[in-house]
Amino acid sequence: MLIKNKTDVIETAVKNISKDAKEIKESVEVLKNITGRHEVDINILKRRTV
């Protein structure tokens, strides 16, 4: 019974960590897209004559 309970706790923890990791990965992808757009905007501004 004790091993079953520990296994359940570990399984729940792994599921939570997996969910958190997925959310973090999605956030990083969004940030990469935003950074990419900003990089393009910066390069456009650099090419313009003042």
Mind listing the pLDDT tens digit of every residue in the chain (50 residues)? 889 899 999 999 999 999 999 999 999 999 999 999 999 999 999 999 77
pTM of the model: 0.67
Q: How far is CA 7 from CA 3, 21, 31, 44, 45, in A?
A: 6, 21, 36, 55, 57
pLDDT of residue 50: 72
Under DSSP, the state recorded for 49 is -
pLDDT of residue 1: 84
pLDDT of residue 42: 93
Nearest to 9 by CA among 17, 24, 19, 20: 17
pLDDT of residue 14: 98
Spatial distance between the Cα atoms of 23 and 35, rounded to a whole number of angstroms = 18
Spatial distance between the Cα atoms of 9 and 36, rounded to a whole number of angstroms = 40
